Amino acid sequence: MKYEPSRLEILLTKVAFILYGKSVYQAFAISLPLKDSDRVLDFGCGMGTVARYTAKRLTNGHLTCLDISERWINECRKNLRGYDNVTFVQTEFPALENKSFDLVYCHFVLHDISERELNRIIPALAESLKPGGMLVFREPLKETEKISLIKSLMEQNWLFPKDCRITDIPVMGNALECIYIKQ
């Protein structure tokens, strides 16, 4: 099901990025366990709020920004213009190359996806990881049922928890951040 944000949603996200970019998005990007040469996927990149900081860290690597929305991808392109280590992909269901990424991250995305779609997407994300690759997510802690489903799907797809912690995100509240590693 295709989703396009309203102009108001885009505007509010831009304002949030200006006001909270470092404390929310940069802090998450800095916490990502990546090397400068990694191939990384930003799943549900939106306007590139985390990608902006991640691309800077990949001095010898590559970032793929993927979103279902054409509007978000266009905003992401604008936000990351000047980076030659970024590819933009707009698609509803990720047809990802197997074993192509060292790291996949999802920032406040998975809780918005239906259970039916998560049953398709998480296996595709798991398959896209190289052996030993990691999938990192940050989700609102109040989404307990969805988080339980996400964790279950991770383990069903040979992704096992390396680290999980609760953080307090300015304006957004408590969130769960987890790192899963592909066996």
In which band, very low, low, confident or very high, does the pLDDT at 2 lie, cut at 50, 70 and 90? low
Q: Is residue 28 pLDDT above 60, yes or no?
A: yes
Cα–Cα distances (Å) from 63 to 4, 72, 109, 110, 149, in that order, read 23, 16, 17, 19, 27
Residue 8: both structure tokens together = 């108001």
Residue 141: both structure tokens together = 């802690």
Structural contact between residues 46 and 67, judged by C-beta atoms closer than 8 angstroms:
yes
Each domain of the chain, given as residue ranges in start order, spans 7-182
At 106-159, the pLDDT tens digits run 999 999 999 999 999 999 999 999 999 999 999 999 999 999 999 999 999 999
Cα–Cα distances (Å) from 112 to 53, 108, 147, 155, in that order, read 23, 8, 11, 20
Average pLDDT of every residue of the chain: 93
- Rounded percentage of the chain residues whose pLDDT exceeds 70: 99
C-alpha span between 132 and 104 (Å, rounded)? 12
Q: Is residue 20 pLDDT above 80, yes or no?
A: no
Structural contact between residues 21 and 49, judged by C-beta atoms closer than 8 angstroms:
yes
If one looks up domain 7-182 in CATH, what number appears?
Answer: 3.40.50.150
C-alpha span between 170 and 19 (Å, rounded)? 10
pTM to 2 decimals? Answer: 0.93
